[in-house]
Amino acid sequence: MPEKAWIDTSFSPHDRLRVCFVTKKGKVTDIIVIQYEAEIGGEWLPLVRYDRAHGYLHRDVMRPDGTQEKTKWPSENLNQALTEAIQEIKRQWAFYRRAFEEGLRK
């Protein structure tokens, strides 16, 4: 089963999207990670991550205190979920970054 992976750096020099998933016969069979990362304080930090680490697809939104907000992803169709998760991060990355940075100031 071929693994496909890439890093999209088109957001800004300090923001990127990391994507890694597995396909078989053109269909997504596993989502390893879809992750928005931001360079904050000279360090690359994951701010939002989609994965199947707990046996189901979910989104983790990271907070500066180390806690995470976990939300189960409603779609069981991995092809659709992959597309939707990437689109969601591309639409919302600036919001996630701003929220994380505001949390650092508290």
5's torsion region: left (phi>0), alpha (psi -120 to 50) or beta? Answer: beta
CA distance 51 to 82: 10
50-86 residue pLDDT tens:
999 888 899 999 999 999 999 998 877 999 999 999 9
Its pTM stands at: 0.92
Of residues 104 and 106, more confidence is placed in: 104
What's the structural domain count of the chain? 1
CA distance 79 to 76: 9
Kindly tell me if the per-residue pLDDT of 88 is higher than 80.
yes
Parent domain of 7: 3-104
Please report, in angstroms and rounded to a whole number, the separation of the first and last CA atoms in the chain: 45
